[in-house]
Structures are given as C-alpha cells and as structure tokens.
Amino acid sequence: MRKYIAIFKSQIQITFAYSAWFWASMISAVFQLIILFYFWHAVYQNSDTIGNMNIKQMITYVMIATILGKFMNGAGSQLAGDIRTGQIATELMRPYNLLHKLMAMDLGGKTSDFIQSAVPLLVVAGLFFSITLPESLTAGILFVVSSILGILLAGVFDLIIGLLAFWTINTWGLRILRNAIVLFFSGSLIPISLFPPSMQLISQYLPFQSMVYVPVSIYTGAISGQDAWMAMGAQLFWIVFIYAVLRASWSQALRKVTIFGG
C-alpha cells in the first residue's frame, strides 16, 4: 500500500508542475461557466420552472455537474499508450499491480486538479453566478462522499476502455464514443430528470448516472434521505461490479500477452 501512496503523492507533484496546462484549462472552464449561465438564463426567460427546477437550482446543478464532469476521465489512455508502445513490458517487470499503480496515479492527478482548479472554479461559481449551498450539512457531506464514489467509478470504467487496446490497436474511436456516452448519460450536461421517461428508465440501469447525476442531485436536494443512501449503494455496487469486470479482463489480457507475445 505504501508504494501506491508514494506514486499517488508523486503524481500530485507532477500535475502541479504543468502550470501552462493548468491556466489554459482554467480559462476554458471559466468560459464554459459563463456560457452555461447565459444559456440557462435564456432558457428560463419564458418559464419559472423546468422539470420542477427553478433557475437557481438549475444553474447550481449544471455548474456543479460541469465541474465534477471534469473528473470523469481516468488512466485508460495511459494504459492504452503503454500497451501500444510496448512500455507495458517494463511495467510488468515491476513488483506492483499495474492497474492499482495507474489508479494511484490517476487519483494523484485528480487531487491536484481538485485543489488547483475545482476549488477556484467553485469559488467563481459561488461569487459571480450565485450558486446555492448544499441543501443541508448532511447533504453536503453525502455529496462529498458520493462525488468520490462517482470519480472512482469513472476511473475504473476508463481503465476498461484503455484495456481494450490489447484487442484493438487504437482506442481513439472508442474513447470518443465513451466520452459522448458519459457526457450524456452521466448527467453532466443536463439533469437526468429532464430526460424523457423512457430514457430515464434506460439510464437507471446504466452505471453512468452514478458518476455525476447522483452526487449533484444529492447536493441540490433532488435526491435526499432514504433515496440518497440507495443511490450511493448503487454507486458502490457499480464500482465493485466494474472493478470485477476490469480484473477479469485484465488477467485475460495478460494471459494473451504472455502466451501469444502480444
């Protein structure tokens, strides 16, 4: 465990070192928030509520969801790159589990991203776009826990996409498809509650709404009490389930590599 913590810490440092990248992504994120703000103001011009949400709730939802949505990537592209370039051979010679190492790196990067960009963006959103605070203190705490679960879920899911590089040489197309699906079904674009009923039904059986929609709805109070616990249970289920699939396909892929030589 100590080795993964060391990797986690070192990745925090590495991510902090890329300051140009940081400012570029910061500025684009602020623009995104400005666009969201005016877009939803225009939408609300002719009505007070849309799908039971007033403008304030909606702005709060989309801004938190947009910021959280920035954490829905993972180490999958790194894994795919290692596989494509053959660097995976060196990785396999190390006394660690490569999947856990990649997760530690990913979480390290996200931790520094959180400190350097999510926190300032939340402050900007709070000061200039008047997003509301969480429904209650409990909702606030549950939101934090649920966000972490959502980020973990997205991380393991992303590794599965990266792992597919063992079978398809390039995962670029898959990645675009994944991004589109996650953007839409995670609820980072619009709340799932605005979807038509049939889509909502489909979404309920998919893991994606556990990534963004669940934590942000806990924040806004759209999901609370018993439902919040249920939703977090579902998050946990998906993490365990997808992790199990990941491990199974990982050992399958390794067997393929070590027996067939790639």
Partner 1 sequence: MIEVKDLSKDYIILKRKPGLSGAIRSLFIREKEIKQAVDHISFEIKPGEVVGYIGPNGAGKSTTIKMLCGILTPSHGEIRVNGVVPYQNRKQNAINIGAVYGQRTQLFWDIPVRESYELLRHIYEIPKNDFEARMKHFTEYLNLGPILDIPVRQLSLGQKMRCELAASFLHNPAVVFLDEPTIGLDVAVKENIRKFIREMNHLYGTTVILTTHDMEDIEQLCQRIIIIDNGSILYDGDLVAVKERFGHQRTIHFEMPQTDHFKLPASLESTVDVAEITESRVSLLFSSRDIKGAEVIAIMMAEYEVNDLTIKDTSIETIVKEIYERGI
Q: Which two tokens stand for residue 24?
A: 């570029």
**38 interacts with partner 1 by CB under 8 A:** no
Distance CA 135, CA 228 (A): 13
Q: How far is the CB of 167 from partner 1 (least distance, A)?
A: 13
The residues in 193-252 that bind partner 1, with binding defined as CB under 8 A, are none
Angle, vertex CA 173, rays to CA 155 and CA 200, nearest 5: 60
Distance CA 127, CA 119 (A): 12
What string marks each residue from 87 to 126 as x (binds partner 1 by CB under 8 A) or -? x-xx-xxxxxx-----------------------------
Q: Which of 17, 176, 199, 206 binds partner 1 (CB under 8 A)?
A: 17
Residue 91 burial by Cβ neighbours in a 10 Å radius (0-12, 13-18, 19+): middle
Q: How far is the CB of 186 from partner 1 (least distance, A)?
A: 29
**169 interacts with partner 1 by CB under 8 A:** no
Helix/strand/coil (H, E, C) string of 64-89? Answer: HHHHHHCCCCCCHHHHHHHHHHCCHH
**Cβ-contact 214, 232 below 8 angstroms:** yes
Nearer to partner 1, 53 or 105 (CB): 105
DSSP string covering 202-234: HHHTSSGGGTTHHHHHHHHTSS-THHHHHHHHH
**86 interacts with partner 1 by CB under 8 A:** yes
Stretch that binds partner 1, among 82-90, 183-191, 212-220, 245-253 (CB under 8 A): 82-90
**259 interacts with partner 1 by CB under 8 A:** yes
Q: How far is the CB of 140 from partner 1 (least distance, A)?
A: 35
Cα 11 from chain centroid? 18
**177 interacts with partner 1 by CB under 8 A:** no
The residues binding partner 1 (CB under 8 A) are: 2-3, 5-7, 10, 13-14, 17, 86-87, 89-90, 92-97, 255, 257-261
